[in-house]
Structure 1
Amino acid sequence: MSIGSFNEVKKDSGTLHIQPRAEDLKAFADLTILMPKAAANAQRRAINKTLGWLRTHIARAVGRQEKIAVKAVRQRLRSYPVDGGALRGKLWFGINPMEASRAGRPRQTRAGVSVAGRRYQGAFYKKVYGNQADIWIRTASKHFNPADYPDSDISSQTGPSSGFVGENSDRFPLAKAKISLDAVRPHFEAWSRKADAQLLHVLKQELNFELQKYLKGARRV
C-alpha cells in the first residue's frame, strides 16, 4: 500500500521518495481499470514533473537560507526519475559540508577572503590540492576558527579524503573553509508534504489529459 511521498535523512545526505498515496489513486480507480497503461503513463509524468519542481524550489530555498549560489545547491541535488515499472521517483541531496568557495565568487583581500557575505580572516584563495582553487587557512593562524572549517581533519594526516593538507610539509597544516548544511535537516519532512500536494495537483492534470485523449478517440469510433 502506497504511503505517499516520504524522506530518509542520513549523516551526509537526505533522500525524498516521490510517489502517489493509495487514497489519492482511489479517486482515479475507474480510469486505472479502464486504461491501465494510460494511467501508468500519467503517474510517471506526474512524478517526474514533481521531481523537477521540487529540485528547483529546494535549491532556491536552501540558497536563500544559507546564502549559497543556487547553482551550487543544485549540484548537490540529484534526481532519479521514474524508469520502468516502479512508480517511485527519488531526489537525493548531499548535505555534508560544502566548500565555501562554491557559495559564490571568492575575493582575496589583504585581510583574508570574502565570499557570499562570509569573511574568512587570515585565509587565502589558491590551488593547493587538485585542479580547483579553494579557501584555505593555516591552522596555526591566530584567525583560525574550527567553526568556519567543518569536516576538516586537523592533524598530521594528508590526502584527498579530508579537508586537511600539508603545504610543502606537515610544518604548515592547512584547513579548507566549508559551510555546514546541517540547518537543512529539519526541512525534509516539510518538503515531503509539499511534494505530496504538488504530485496530486500534477497527477490530476495528467490523468485528465489521458482521459481527454481517450474520449476524443472514442468519439471518432
Structure 2
Amino acid sequence: MTKATALVGDVAAPRANVPALAELVHGYEFSRDVVMLNNDRPDFSEAIRAMRTNIVARHLGDGRRGLAITAPDADSMCTFTSVNLAVAMAQIGVSTLLVDGNMRTPGVDSFIRPTSPTLGLAQCLAMQCSAHEALHANIVPNLSIVYSGGEAPNAHELLGGEQFTKLVQTYLRDFDLTIIDTPPAKAFADARRIAGVVGYATVIARRDISLMSEIVGFAESLLEDGTQIIGTVLCEV
C-alpha cells in the first residue's frame, strides 16, 4: 500500500481473488472483505483502527452519534469503508448501527448478507414496516444493521420525507453511533440529503478515480447544507 496523508485514514482496495461470500455465522454470510473479522488485510485493518481512533476522539468524544459515509464516485470503496468501520467500532464496545442508505445500488448485503429475505430502509420509509421489524440486532456483538430493502426508484422522495428524519432521530437516540452508507454523490443527490439529516459526514476519495475538483465541489455542497465534515479518507490502490 502506497502511503498517503488523510485526515482520517488511508485504505487499500480488497483483493480481487477472495470469494465474494466465505463464512456463515448465525444466519448471515460474511464476505472475506469484512477484513476487521479476519487477518486477510492487516494493512487495511490498521488503517481502519486509526480511523476509529480519530472518530472516537473527535466525534464520539464530543457527544456526536451519527456519521454519513459519502463519496463522489461509485468506485471509491464507500461501502467497504462503512462496513469495516462499523465492525471496528462494535469491537471496542460501541453500540453501533449500520444503515444501508443506498437504495440505488445497495451494497451492505454483499459484505454481510442475511440468508433469508429481509425488510429494510425502503419499507420503513414507505410505512410498510416498523423500525424494529427492519432491524437486525447484534449480528455480531454491538453491531446491528438496517439493510436498504432493495432498490427503490423513488429513493430521493423517500429520503426527503419527514419519516426519514424521524427514523434517523430514533437511531441516534438508541445507538451510540449510527453509520449510514450512501450512494455516489456524483450520480444522486441522496448523499447530501442523508448527510444533512445526520449532520456529520466523512468523504471518501480514491486515487486515480476521484477528481480533486469533484471532491472539493462535493465537500463545498455539504458545507452549504450545514453538514460538518469530520474528515476525509484517501483510498490507495
TM-score (norm 1): 0.25
TM-score (norm 2): 0.23
